[in-house]
């Protein structure tokens, strides 16, 4: 499998599975029957952002698989907490999680 196909596959997977709650809230707010173009545009933009992020983070051959594995684990963990507890992740929460004072 070529590196781009692998990165694109991970981006599609993360877009489809790590954002189920997001797409559920979007479909509740904007019914798909009336706003199909808008919902598809959101999905395409989200896929493009995922593809850009995964491509930039894994641009070197030797870090490709470890970076993709890390992104998949992070996507699974954040998706679990979002689906189970309704947690919404923002910049402040990420800053607190990454800040280590000890």
Q: Span 52-78, mean pLDDT?
A: 90
User: Domain boundaries in the chain?
Assistant: 3-98
Q: How confident is the model at residue 102 (pLDDT cuts 50, 70, 90)?
A: low
pTM above 0.75, yes or no: yes
Q: Span 44-59, mean pLDDT?
A: 91
Cα dihedral 39→41→72→56 (10° resolution): -160
Q: How confident is the model at residue 38 (pLDDT cuts 50, 70, 90)?
A: very high
Closest CA to 18 of 90, 63, 81: 81
Per-residue pLDDT at 66: 93
Percent of the chain residues past pLDDT 90, beyond the cut:
58
What number of other Cβ atoms are within 10 A of residue 26's Cβ? Answer: 17
């Amino acid at each position: 499998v070529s590196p781009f196909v692998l990165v694109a596959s991970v981006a599609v997977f993360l877009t489809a599975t790590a954002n189920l709650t997001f797409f559920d809230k979007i479909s509740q707010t904007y019914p798909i029957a009336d706003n199909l173009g808008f919902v598809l545009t959101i999905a395409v933009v989200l896929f493009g952002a995922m593809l850009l992020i995964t491509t930039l983070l894994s641009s070197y051959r030797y870090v490709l698989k470890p970076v993709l594995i890390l992104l998949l684990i992070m996507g699974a963990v954040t998706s679990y907490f979002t689906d189970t507890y309704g947690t919404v992740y923002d910049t402040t929460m990420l800053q607190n999680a990454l800040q280590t004072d000890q």
